Structure 1
Amino acid sequence: MTDASTTDQPGSGRLRLARRLRTLTGVDEDLLATVRYERSKYTALGGVVLGTSVIAAFSMWNFATEALGRVSALALIPTVIWMLFVLNLDRWLITPQANARRRVGPLLLRLTIALFLGAVVAEPLVLRIFATAVEERITDDRNRAVDQLRSDLVRCNPVPSRTASTTPAGCDRYILSFVSTPGGQADELAVLRSDADALQKRVDQDTKTLGALDTEVRDECRQLIRNASTGLLQRTSECLRLREKAKDYRSTHRTEENERRLAAMNGRISKIEGKLTTSRGTFLKARASRIEQRIAQERAKQKEIGVLERMRTLDELASGNGVLFAGIWLVRALFVLLDALPVMVKFLSGESAYERLLAIESNSAVTIHSQKARLAERRALADVEIAEDAIEQEVRRSRAESEAAHREHTAAMHIRVRQAVNSLEDELRRTSSV
């Protein structure tokens, strides 16, 4: 039988690729060599991990380009970072652990993390798939907003018919400022027209009255009477009276002056109407220019479609269409499951021989470490006991030396006392013999 260590030597590109894929699963190649028939399983699992990280990278690329509003090399930075993060996170989630299947808590935690990560990865991809419908809806909404803005600006900035005009309701945000407006001329024109109408009524009444008087004068003055004294024909006294009455009426009612005033007023009205027409045309041009400026500002705010705007629009589309709603959530669920696939494949499959070997190796390592720890503890305790015995012996030796010195000192004192006593006795003998 060929040795296991010689069957997976990096002699070809295929073997090197398989080893790199298995590295993504966190397996130990030396331990896996014992059950080499499971290499294909972990190689495939490494491919799944790599695939989910590539999907995550594509998702981040779409997200970054939409956030920037264009395709840029700067989008590669978050794309690469996100790919490496997802790759390492999935590697951590599926790395075999000894006796892991006995603990439900870590399993649920890893599955929860994988599902949440899949939801984050899925959203940009869903937006990419439904980008056409979303962009069409956003374009329509923006056009409607611009049209509504134009309508509000026209409604809230009508051609002034007088100097002081009331602001329409709800127009606080849509009032435009103008250098001049035709409101003052409109007020003057309204006053002139009112005065001219009143004067016209008076002139018409006077004209009607004078017409009736002139008719009476003509009818009466056609009749001639003969003067009795002279025998000549002459006007009647009633004719003369009516003529005087008409003359007095013209004089007292100032009919000719009123007609001249009315003609002057009508001329003034015509002139003001011409100026007002010109002023209104200028105002309409200025209003159109200001409205276009506001519209341009509004369109400038609508430069690029942002991610949040896309998400909001997608939810609005889904809320009004059951089929689209189901399709969106099916696509989301698909990408969530794809991203959670490594964890699901790892923890929902049966326990492999490699994991049993890993558990044995782990338990053995724990046992060996425990024995080494106890041995080190016993050595440490023995060293402590030896040190304690050495200290006790040192104490006893010091105590014995101290006691011997004390006895020597006591013996020396006794000798000195006996010598002093003997000297005293000798001195007393000499003294008594003398």
Structure 2
Amino acid sequence: MTESTVELPKLGTTDGEPSHPLRPDGPAIPRQRAVADRPAPPDAGPAVLPRRLVGIREEVLDWVPEDRPRYTRLGLILVNTGLMAAISLFVALRRVLDVPWPMVVPIALFWGFLVLAIDSWMVSSTHGSLGRSRWLMFVPRLVMAVLLGSVIAEPLVLWVFHPAIHADVEQDRQKQVRIQAGRWTLCNPADGTDTTSLPECRDYQLGIKGPAAQEGELTRLTAERDALDSEITKLNADLAGKQKFAQDECAGVKRGGTSGRAGKGFRCDSAWKVADSFQKEVDLPGKRTRAAVLDQQINTLTSQLAASRKAHGATVETAIATKVGDFRGSFGPIDIIDEARGLERLSDRSGFVHAAQWLVRLLLILVDSLPVLAKIFSGTTAYDVLVNRQLSAGQRFHGRSLDVTDYTFEAATKASIHDIDERSRAQQERLDEDLDAEIDRRAGRYAAGMT
């Protein structure tokens, strides 16, 4: 089979001279405006590249060159969406990875290329769709565009509110540091008070033992000194009473138990013996000496305890400073998660920030979804109609080509079978002739032998 081409005559031409069919005597109309002069000359300018991104076939678009600007701008929208995606990932990775920015650029460019390829597929796959099927194709693509736009928009939203977010994150971190310092200080008093029984101090124990032994010894000595003071006071009162009784007995003072006779006699001596015996028995001088020793020990231990408490307080303060410093160092650089939480706190505190961040986010999502939206808003273009007809024609041509192929193969098969049958019949005839000749030859030989 040989391919043949049929050259169609151009409308509006007379003897090779271009003219308008309705105005043969009028001035020539420019090629781009002449409806009859189609297809238009191919466009070899830079505008072809954006149209290729949206899957435009220039040989079809040449029949409706009026749609060239529309699809050129649609391709530029795709390029802008890809650039926004690359910038968005660049901003996000700069907050997540602690690497030089040139190392992030290839990853961001790859992400932008990926988004560009996805948007290109979403737009190009709708060319030629007409009627109800057009909307059935657009709905899932629009949903995908919105989801993709949401992912791209979030880092850019954080970038827009970057100064306010960073200030809020710094304030929140300082607040957390103050809270931690307060808890460690509360649960680890400088005087060494035991706070292990407090539920809020369960995870905030330094494990540094204070001067508890000295405090216990001081408490014991103080209790012993107080008890000894009470005992001495009582014994002094008892001794003073007995000595007063002896004085009254010797002086002849008449009161309960005394004889009322003055002078040094048996009763006077007995009264003084009782007083002296009591004083020796209770050992008041020894008790007073012991009280003085306890006072000296208490004073010494009090001075030592004050120094120990001061040293313990310094140790606890240093340990708390270390714990708080470790907590402060655990924050690290402000990343995208910290920024997201900061924006959430700002939105909770300010209705203006809440509305503004959602307006920015929706605007970015809308911009990221523009390729599909622009295709939807463009409606059914003349290019779509031509592509639809070409797709239908292509399907018909393909079916007919298959029919021709089937018919050709079937005809060739029948011809081959017929040829095989003919050759088989001819071969059988030759075999029959050879057999007859052999029979005749043998019959002649037999007849010759009989004679």
Which of 232, 236, 240 is equivalent to 1:203?
Answer: 232
Aligned to 1:299: 328
Q: Note if 1:174 corresponds to 2:207.
A: no
**1:415 to partner: Cα distance:** 5.7
Aligned length: 407
Q: Which residue of 1 aligns with 2:339?
A: 310
Report what 2:258 is aligned to: none
Q: Structure 2 matches for 1:27-426, cutoff 5 A?
A: 27-68=56-97, 72-95=101-124, 97-102=126-131, 103=133, 104-159=135-190, 166-178=196-208, 180-221=209-250, 235-319=264-348, 321-407=350-436, 422=450
1:160–1:183 CA contact under 8 A, matched in 2? no
How big is each residue's C-alpha offset from its partner over 1:119-176, in whole Å with a ceiling of 9 and x where there is no partner?
A: 11111122222333433333333222222212221222235668x8744223332111
What is the rounded CA distance, in whole Å, between the counterparts of 1:137 and 1:238 in structure 2?
95
- Is residue 91–residue 156 contact of structure 2 (8 Å, CA) maintained in 1? yes
Which stretch shifts more, 32-41 or 108-117?
32-41
Structure 1 residue 314: Cα displacement: 2.7
> Structure 2: how far apart are the matches of 1:133 and 1:408?
116
CA 35–24 in structure 1, closer or farther in 2 if over 3 Å, else same: same
Deviates further, 166-175 or 260-269 = 166-175
How far, CA to CA, are the matches of 2:101 and 2:69 in structure 1?
Answer: 39
SS state of the match for residue 85, structure 1?
helix
Of residues 277-286 and 73-82 in structure 1, the stretch that sits farther from structure 2 once superposed is 73-82
Change (3 A) 1:265 1:6: same
Q: For structure 1, which segment, 236-245 or 314-323, has the greater mean C-alpha deviation from structure 2 after superposition?
A: 314-323
User: CA shift at 1:308, angstroms?
Assistant: 2.3
What TM-score do you get using the length of structure 1 for normalisation? 0.83
Partner SS, residue 235 of structure 1: coil
Instruction: Work out the CA distance in 2 between the residues paired with 1:182 and 1:75.
Output: 57
Alpha-carbon spacing, 1:24–1:209, altered in 2? closer, same or farther (3 Å): same
Q: CA RMSD in A?
A: 3.0
Deviates more, 1:30-39 or 1:281-290: 30-39
1:176 counterpart SS class: coil
CA offsets per residue over residues 324-382 of structure 1, 9 Å max, x none?
A: 33332222211111111121111232222222222233333333333333222222222
1:244-270 Cα deviation digits (max 9, x unpaired): 122111221121111112221222222
Question: How far 1:407 sits from its partner (Å)?
Answer: 4.7
Comparing 55-64 with 359-368, greater Cα deviation is found at 359-368
Structure 2 counterpart of 1:375, one-letter code: V
Name the counterpart of 1:428.
none
User: Who is 2:257 aligned against?
Assistant: none
Name the aligned partner's letter for residue 171 of structure 1. Answer: C
Q: Among all aligned residue pairs of Structure 1 and Structure 2, give the percentage whose two residues are the same amino acid.
A: 23
TM-score (norm 2): 0.80
Note if contact 1:161-1:186 (Cα within 8 Å) is conserved in structure 2.
Answer: no
Q: Helix, strand or coil for the counterpart of 2:199?
A: coil
What amino acid is aligned across from residue 245 of structure 1 in structure 2?
V
Higher mean alpha-carbon deviation, 400-409 vs 143-152, is at 400-409
SS of 2:201's partner is coil
Q: Displacement, 1:181?
A: 2.5
- Residues 239, 306 of structure 1: CA spacing in aligned structure 2 closer, same or farther, 3 A cutoff? farther
Q: Partners in 1 of 2:442 and 2:268 — Cα distance?
A: 190
Between the aligned partners of 2:185 and 2:400, the Cα distance in structure 1 is: 90
Offset at residue 66 of structure 1 (A): 1.7
Q: 1:203 to 1:395 in 2, by over 3 A?
A: farther
Q: Which moved more, 1:54-63 or 1:403-412?
A: 403-412
Separation of aligned partners in 1, 2:202 and 2:423: 101
Rate the CA distance shift 1:347–1:223 in 2: closer, same or farther, 3 A: same
Distance 1:415 1:253 in 2: 178
5+ residue gaps in structure 1?
225-232, 424-434
Matched residue type, 1:82: W
Higher helix share: 1
Task: Measure, in 2, the Cα distance between the counterparts of 1:343 and 1:205.
Answer: 104
